[in-house]
Amino acid sequence: MSVFRRLIGRRKRSDEKKSIEDKTPSAASIEDTPPPTPEESPRDTRAETREFSPKPEGSIVASNAELRIDREQTLSLAKDAKIAKHSTAEIVPGKLLKRDDQGRVHIKIVFYGPSLSGKTTALRWLFANVRSLSKGRLVEIADELGRTTFFDFVPVTASERMVFDIFTVAGQRRHARSRISVLRDSDGLIFMADSRPEMMNENLASLEELRIALGTDRLANMPIVIALNKRDLPNALPVEYIVEMLDVEGHPIFPTIATQGKNLLRMFQRVLRDALVFKVGI
């Protein structure tokens, strides 16, 4: 009876040992096991978090894949509008000036940017509030919703010898031909971006179109200021974020509220001053 019990005891111990071995992973099985994913590893997750700054509030939809700007078509429209590289005479201050039949020098300033970003609103505010300049009649061509369909225009007389022709362009995609035509012979630009997150793609598309139409040469020489409009809205993106997204570091930046006139006069004075230096050299 005691022999039988010893045999049973040996078999039980053998089974327990085998069970432990089965549960212990071998070296081969450890090598075959894939490393934990970043989601499974707290250390990797912390490292990954340090690489990215916190996202601004609001739903941001912005990617190069969604710009939908036809480069070849834009170049063709620019060619039709006779937009070419700056000639040597154009970049020499005072060398090539546009004069009217009264001998006054004309300098052309263009508001550019996506639809409903505030270009016409800004022009109306300047027309109504800049009393130090003599202004002609404000011409607006808009649809039933108040959106510019070709361009807005107002001549601003700075002196007996100087006139600033201020234009805004139609921001809707379908008006690309007329919009690019207005760029011809421009001497200074105000790019007006919309600060709302849902408009970031439109900002990017409009700026990309501008860069293609004018070309690297004109962009490098022409005075350009950047207005980040609608800063009063609760979901307005941070200024630094928009500047980085649009890649406009180095340009004068003006956070604006066109409906209130905030920073519009400073922005306008800056582009007029830079355009005068660029074209006339004063």
Q: At 104, is the pLDDT very low, low, confident or very high (cuts 50, 70, 90)?
A: confident
pLDDT for 85 equals: 85
Instruction: Pick 40 or 120 by higher pLDDT.
Output: 120
Q: Where are the domains of the chain?
A: 79-279
The answer to whether the beta carbons of residues 168 and 123 sit under 8 Å apart is yes
Instruction: Give the rounded percent of residues in the chain with a pLDDT score beyond 70.
Output: 65
pLDDT for 66 equals: 55
Query: What average pLDDT does this structure show over 30-35?
Result: 45
2 has a pLDDT exceeding 50: no
pLDDT per position as a tens digit, 213-252 = 999 888 888 999 999 999 999 999 999 999 999 999 999 9
**Angle ∠(196,198,202) on CA atoms, nearest 5:** 95
CA distance 97 to 161: 12
Q: At 135, is the pLDDT very low, low, confident or very high (cuts 50, 70, 90)?
A: low
pLDDT for 132 equals: 59
203 has a pLDDT exceeding 90: yes
CA distance 249 to 2: 92
43 has a pLDDT exceeding 80: no
38 has a pLDDT exceeding 60: no
16 has a pLDDT exceeding 60: no
Closest by CA to 170, choosing from 142, 148, 146, is 148
At residue 271, what is the residue type?
Answer: V
Instruction: Pick 31 or 193 by higher pLDDT.
Output: 193
* Beta strand pairing call for 188-194 and 224-229: parallel
Among 21-30, 98-107, 190-199, 248-257, the range scoring the smallest mean pLDDT is 21-30
pLDDT per position as a tens digit, 165-179 = 888 887 576 678 888
CA distance 64 to 116: 21
The superfamily (CATH) of domain 79-279 is: P-loop containing nucleotide triphosphate hydrolases (3.40.50.300)
pLDDT for 11 equals: 54
pLDDT per position as a tens digit, 45-101 = 333 333 333 445 544 555 545 557 889 999 999 999 999 888 888 888 888 899 988
The answer to whether the beta carbons of residues 109 and 186 sit under 8 Å apart is yes
Query: What average pLDDT does this structure show over 136-152?
Result: 46
Long-range contacts of range 95-98, CB-CB < 8 Å, 24 or more positions apart? 97/279, 97/280, 98/185
